[in-house]
Structures are given as structure tokens and as C-alpha cells.
Amino acid sequence: MSTRFSLARTLAIFIKEFQQMLRDRPTFAMAVGVPVLQLVLFGYAINTDPKGLPTAVVSTDTGPMSRSLLAAMQNTGYFRIVHQGVSEGQGEALVADGEVQFLVVIPPDFSQRVVRGEKPALLVSVDATDPSAAGNAIAALGQLAPTALRNDLTGPLQRLQPTAAPFELRIHRRYNPEGLSRYNIVPGLIGTILTMTMVMLTGLAMTRERERGTMENLLATPVRPIEVMLGKIAPYVLIGYIQLGVILLAARALFEVPMAGSFGLLMSMIGVFMLANLCVGFTFSTLAKNQLQALQATFFFFLPSMLLSGFMFPFRGMPIWAQRLGEVLPLTHFLRIVRGILLKGNGLAQLLPELWPMLAFIAVAGAVALARYRQTLD
């Protein structure tokens, strides 16, 4: 064998390796597709300054100053009034259900008390389960207070202009009074960790059988496709609950994340979420030819799940098309469920709007997995 370096031999190896890469279409598609996916998601979908946050207003004051105040809030771009004229109890329920981010309570004699110089209190309740989503909007409220009624304080009311603000602004951060980011991050980690591990471990299930040459033995047994699917999924459900126990213990002992809701309800919701991800992983295992392709497919599913679910970036800050795509992913709904149970104490009735999309996802992903497995058998 020649010990001298040969450019021709190096070129031959290069051509051979490049041809093999082109023949492995899933790997080549991942190499091209992942950067494109990252560019699109980070360039268009991710926004750390969400605006147009849904807001409910409780007000019986019909004076001009309350109208000016609401108009000034909407002009900031951060607030989008979707419910007006509701009772305070209805407004609190809207915040608890996650339908609105802000609840503004204007006292009934707001305009009259401003004119008398009494500085009435304006109460703003904020869903602070995700502090980053509301931070800039709260800052805008503080800047708005001294200027919102400037056009109304004219003539005889000019004497009120020099004051810092003609009304008192009271902001109540619900469910996370101190605005601690760990109250948002730690519950979200439950979903992201389970998504990554459940999809990845199950994705390797069938490909491992083929690579080790034991697929023929499995096909020779009288088991039905649904039995194989459930049998392979069940062990990973147990692993998921073990992971969950470790995460919850750490969340409580290290980060002091509260448990405001039912522990049993949380366990059942996590079981549904794990089943959704295991169905995805089983589908990938029937599509991939080897374990490398299964891992690549797992990453391709995990990346948009992490970015579009509201875990890393505020969900309401994304454009509508990205929110629609995020609503398809199980992690989006699970994050709302786990934060609702841990931080808000939500019950089953409040979680149903997030539960049925996960059940629908399980039905579709399970049907695809079974269809693909039958094709594998053929």
C-alpha cells in the first residue's frame, strides 16, 4: 500500500461518500430541511414582544375618561379588548381559563372621582403564569397612567395635569405574584422532556427489531398489530412516570413550584400526553429504515414542538399561522394543562378545551401507526 498522499484516492472516496449521502434521502432531507425550518421559525414565528393580548374589561362607568383610558390602552398595541361589560366574577373565570391575559376593573364612579382629584384605583389582574408574555404590556401600563387622560384634563381640570397620574394603578399578578420565571419553565420542562424521550425511545422500537434481525421472529408470532403496538408502548409509559416523579420532586424541593390542583388529575393528563407522543414515536419507527433515521425524525418533530408550543417563547406573540400550527402539537395543550393544574388549580371542566385536541391527535397518530405497521408486515 502506498504511503504517499493521493489526491485522486481522496477524490474517489469523496465521490463515493457523496453518492451514498444522496441515496440516503431522509438524512439528506434532514440536513437541508432543519436549517430551513429553523430559519422560518426563528425569523417569522418567534416574537418575544407579544402584542394584541386578549383583555376583558369590567366597567359600569360611562364617563368620557373611562372611554379615553380604554382607547389609550388599545392604542399601545399590547391590549385587545375581547370581552367588555362582563361582571368581575366572569372576568376572573376568563383569566383562570386562559381565555384572556388581562382583566381591567374600572370602578363605577371612575370619571367623577378623577374630576374631584381623588385618584381612584384602577385594578389590573394579569395571568402571570408566563411572566415574559405580559412583562412589556405591564410596563406600557405604567407609562400610560400619567398620559392617558391628558386630553380630558383641560380647562377647569388643568390643575390635575402636573400630578404624576390622575388615578392609581394596581397590578395584581395572578398565580405568580413575584413574576418568577421558574414557575413557568419548570412545569414546561415536564412536557418537553417527556416529548423528547417518549418519541425517541418508541421511535427506536421497530427499527431496533429490524437492525438486530429479530423482526422475522416477531412476524412469526400470532400477535396482532394493535397488540404489538400496545406491548411496545407500555414499558415506556412506566419510564415516563418514573421521569415524572423525578421532575416533580425536583420542582417541589429545589424550585418550590406550587401544586394548587389535583395530583390525580395531573397524573391522568400526563398519561394522555405520553400516549400521544408514544403514538408519534411508533409511527416514526415504522417509517424509518434504521435507528439513525428514527432519531432524525424525532428531532424534526421535537424542534417545532419546543418552539411553537409556548415553552420557550410567548404563544400569543406568534403570528396566526404559527399559532394554528402550534395548536396541532400535543405539547401546546399539555403546557396549558400542567400550568393550569400546578399554578391555577384548574379542574377537569376547565381542562376539557385542551384535552380533546390531544385525544384527537392520539386517534389520528394511532391510526397512521397501525396502517404503517400493517404495511411493514406486508
> Average of pLDDT values for 186-199?
87
193 alpha-carbon distance from chain centroid: 13
Which range of 46-50, 143-147, 364-368 scores highest in mean pLDDT? It is 364-368
Q: Among 137-151, 312-326, 343-357, which stretch is predicted with the lowest mean pLDDT? A: 137-151
Residues 6+ apart with CB under 8 A from 226: 370
Its pTM stands at 0.80
Angstrom distance (rounded) from CA 205 to CA 172: 49
Q: Set out the domains of the chain in order of their start, with CATH numbers.
A: 53-174 (3.40.1710.10), 182-377 (no CATH)
If phi > 0 it is left, if psi is from -120 to 50 it is alpha, else beta; for residue 238 that is alpha
Q: What percent of the chain has pLDDT over 70?
A: 82
Cα distances (Å, whole numbers) of residue 303 to 37, 41, 184, 199, 322: 9, 10, 19, 12, 13
Task: Give me the phi and psi of 117, to 5 degrees please.
Answer: 75, 25
Question: Scanning the structure block, which residue is given the C-alpha cell 379615553?
Answer: 68
Give the start-end residues of each E strand in 77-120: 79-84, 102-106
pLDDT category at 87 given cuts 50, 70, 90 is confident
For the segment 312-324, what is each residue's pLDDT rounded down to a tens digit?
888 888 888 888 9
